[in-house]
Amino acid sequence: MSNYSKTHALMQRGREFLGTEHAILCGAMSWVSERNLVSAISNAGGFGVIACGAMTPELLDTEIAETKARTDKPFGVNLITMHPQLFDLIAVCGKHGVGHVVLAGGIPPKGSVEAIKEFGAKVIVFAPTLALAKKLLRSGGDALVIEGMEAGGHIGPVSTSVLAQEFLPVLSEDHLVFVAGGIGRGEAIAGYLEMGAVGVQLGTRFACATESIAHPDFKKAFFRAGARDAVASVQVDPRLPVIPVRALKNKGTEEFTAKQREVAGLLDSGAVEMAEAQLQIEHYWAGALRRAVIDGDIENGSLMAGQSVGMVKEEQPVADIMTQLMDESEAALSRR
Ligand SMILES: Cc1cc2nc3c(=O)[nH]c(=O)nc-3n(C[C@H](O)[C@H](O)[C@H](O)COP(=O)(O)O)c2cc1C
């Protein structure tokens, strides 16, 4: 049994909150974070999170049941706030007694936090600014994830290192803050813990684990890529409030530019309203990610990946990745 006393001491509040051995979350990744990866993360002492994405309540119901069949450890469910059936999805989480619900993709709509708390679950929120973080924590959020622009998937404009310096000194005494984005090694985990984080969230580092169902070609693209291959999408039309997405550069990157032009055209002609335009963009991403993750179309699909992709060199079991991260963190803290 390895001794992680220094890392565990700094993670203590996060470990208690999650009910895990290590306060390391594997952030929800659409199509990737399903029953196999989620249960493997939780069985390895971390905290797996199911990516509900665009799933129907029926599909989420099955996914939670299948995950429970594979682990008796805690795991969470990530719900996208703009999902039209958000409250039905919350009810499914309640039916299964899910302990933690992560609300992602925007400000939680009225009543959603309360509906989650009603069945006794903890609510984890994201916030791009300190003011919004304070507001969400005041109005029922139990823990906060701050995620920098180094991350894979949808990103904000600010780096993890700057967010950590802005948020942690102000919030970490009274609140539980997890840091995400660009973390590939345990030394970085140790650094954020020392700054006041109670734990961390990683995505890219776990996406190609042995237990991940991602297509072998998707994984190969990750192993080949370096940090500078993971680029943020470009906004073509200033009116379209497109949230940038970080992914490995490929033909799909250009297709997204074309998609934006098409949607901007529909807006111009009055064929769609702004909300519908935004939804079309999000559906585009969900489809493109599926093509890459499930079908292995690494040319036209979306290879969402963070800048830490350069540190992902081979397929490893989740337990080995977890051990490596914890060993590195503990060694770094021991050298201090
Ligand atoms: C392929 C991929 C898909 C993702 N999908 C989602 C998602 O559906 N919902 C979400 O909240 N975050 C999503 N993310 C973000 C992750 O949950 C996590 O916060 C992020 O990967 C952390 O940064 P890192 O990639 O630098 O480790 C995704 C990330 C990746 C790489």
The residue nearest atom 11 of ligand 1, judged by CA position, is 104
User: Is the minimum distance from the CB of 125 to ligand 1 under 6 angstroms?
Assistant: no
Q: Which of ligand 1's atoms lies nearest the C-alpha of 102? A: 11
Residue 120: CB atoms within 10 Å: 10
Pairing state between β 245-248 and 153-154: antiparallel
CA of 140 from ligand 1 middle (Å) equals: 23
Query: Along the chain (336 residues), what's the average pLDDT of each consecutive run of 10 residues?
Result: 91 98 98 98 98 96 98 98 95 98 95 98 97 96 98 96 98 98 98 98 98 98 98 87 91 89 90 86 90 97 97 98 98 97
Of 317, 276, 271, nearest in space to 45 by CA = 317
All domains of the chain in start order, with CATH: 5-213+313-335 (3.20.20.70), 216-307 (no CATH)
The residue nearest atom 5 of ligand 1, judged by CA position, is 29
CA atoms within a 13 Å half-sphere pointing along the CA-CB vector of 283:
8
> What proportions of the chain, in percent to the nearest 5, are helix, strand and coil?
50, 15, 40
User: Is the minimum distance from the CB of 191 to ligand 1 under 6 angstroms?
Assistant: no
CA of 203 from ligand 1 middle (Å) equals: 5
Of 71, 68, 125, nearest in space to 98 by CA = 68
CA of 232 from ligand 1 middle (Å) equals: 13
Rounded-to-integer distance, Cα 105 and Cα 107, Å: 7
- Amino acid, single-letter form, for residue 50: I
Q: Do residues 149 and 159 lie in contact, with contact meaning Cβ atoms separated by under 8 Å? A: yes
User: Is the minimum distance from the CB of 288 to ligand 1 under 6 angstroms?
Assistant: no
- Residue among 24, 55, 77, 204 to mutate when testing ligand 1 (max atoms within 8 A of CB): 204
CA of 174 from ligand 1 middle (Å) equals: 26
Of 336, 34, 40, 288, nearest in space to 153 by CA = 288
CA of 202 from ligand 1 middle (Å) equals: 8
At 53 the pLDDT is 93
User: Is the minimum distance from the CB of 37 to ligand 1 under 6 angstroms?
Assistant: no
Alpha helices per DSSP H over the chain: 5-18, 35-43, 57-70, 86-95, 112-118, 130-138, 160-171, 186-194, 204-207, 216-224, 251-268, 274-293, 318-335
At 247 the pLDDT is 97
The residue nearest atom 17 of ligand 1, judged by CA position, is 27
Rounded-to-integer distance, Cα 38 and Cα 71, Å: 9
- Residue among 24, 25, 29 to mutate when testing ligand 1 (max atoms within 8 A of CB): 29
At 149 the pLDDT is 98
User: Is the minimum distance from the CB of 306 to ligand 1 under 6 angstroms?
Assistant: yes
Rounded-to-integer distance, Cα 100 and Cα 77, Å: 7
CA atoms within a 13 Å half-sphere pointing along the CA-CB vector of 49:
27
Span between the terminal Cα atoms of the chain, in Å:
22
- Collect all residues with Cβ–Cβ distance below 8 Å to 187 and sequence separation of at least 6: 328, 329, 332
The residue nearest atom 13 of ligand 1, judged by CA position, is 29
